[in-house]
Structure 1
């Protein structure tokens, strides 16, 4: 892996941990506590993306030299199919989690994102656009790309997807994130265009966040009813 790629990974890592400095700073400046995570992400992630895009200028200039690169029409088709592919992969993974491991559906990571977005609506730009772009560049283009040069697809996809899943810190649903990572890696290998998994990733995130925002109250009511039902059944038993 060349030096520029290590700098990209370092930049991404610093963007992630910059909240340890930014959040206390915004607290001192008097911002509302519930808005601070969204505000700082809205500042730090665009800066991180700008630096990474600047570092990768040579790669983007030479992208047309990649062999067997899909045409624009094929890229559009695979971007659309990719959304379906990721949904199916996640659905299968979620089913395995429920039936084999007894893990209930619902992601703490998604719940946190929705809460932050409700407090600071502009945060949706970070979670739905900037975040997926950064993740596909780092985990697919760089980490998966480096591993794929040394191993076959399955090993490279497994390792890079596991790292991708672990970074989300939602270890209960590690399998779901890993399955999504596999699907994104497949799209990248199939088309040789990083834009394809980016589009699919953006579409998935937009859908999940908007659904949770629009139906927020109904989802809370449903969760409350399920909890009451579980307590009632537990009382009978």
Structure 2
């Protein structure tokens, strides 16, 4: 792995733990309410990390594809796969959710719920969850981690390892199937088009849709989840 990539990984990890310093700075130093300080620091840390990472990658812009070389797909072909990839990601997420249901895994996501709570407090935080976050994740987990593995192993091994790491990074091991399915989809889009912008677009669109739907129809979704869990428990009583 190139030195620049290691630096990017360090920046990304530092961003994840930056709240340890950033939160007290906002709360005690700038006297910002703790509830508001969280989304504000989220925006600051993610934005700074993205700027730093893009600056580091400025010399790497000529390298296309997970193997670092090769011509990327045409603009038209990339657009088609970006849009198709959005629906493919939704389908893989839906299929993974069904599998988790069959395994008796609770449908709800604490990570998603926390994100929605942050957006309720500070709607501007949606920029992070819908745009900046997905861009950073695709650069880190697909371009760097998957790309580095793909230069040594085949697609299946590289995609599986990077997708599991991607899943575990979301701190919800019970939903490892769900996140891994998404990771596999984005890795496929990256290899298929040789352009990291394609999985970035699909990821951004998917996160934006999920956040909007969860925000607008949250009560209905929670009611549906309770009904589905009741049906699952009822059926389980006969098995």
TM over 0.5: yes
Q: Deviations over 1:56-115 (max 9, x none)?
A: 01111454994242100000000011011111111111111111x211212111111000
Corresponding residue number in structure 1 for 2:164: 162
Matches for 1:51-130 after TM superposition, within 5 Å: 51-63=52-64, 66-99=69-102, 101-130=103-132
Give the one of 146, 150, 159 matched to 2:148. 146
Tell me if 1:6 matches 2:9. Answer: no
How far did 1:181 drift?
A: 0.2
- Hey, what's the Cα distance between the residues in 1 that align with 2:193 and 2:226? 44
Aligned to 1:199: 201
TM-score, normalised via structure 1 length: 0.91
Shift of 1:223: 5.5
Are 1:17 and 2:17 counterparts? Answer: yes
CA distance in 1, matches of 2:86, 2:180: 16
* Superposition CA RMSD, Å: 2.3
Question: Which moves more between the two structures, 209-218 or 37-46?
Answer: 209-218
Q: Which runs of 5+ in 2 are unaligned?
A: 235-239
- Asked if 1:44 corresponds to 2:42, the answer is no
1:221 is displaced (CA, Å) by 4.9
Give the ranges of 4+ consecutive aligned residues of structure 1 lying more than 6 Å apart after TM superposition: 224-227
CA distance in 2, matches of 1:156, 1:225: 38
Gaps of 5+ in 1: none
Task: Say which SS state the counterpart of residue 56 (structure 1) adopts.
Answer: helix
User: TM-score if structure 2 supplies the norm length?
Assistant: 0.90
Distance between the aligned counterparts of 2:105 and 2:225, measured in 1? 15
Mapped partners of 2:150, 2:226: distance in 1: 45
Q: 2 CA distance for matches of 1:174 and 1:87?
A: 16
Shift of 1:214: 0.9
Total equivalences in the alignment: 232
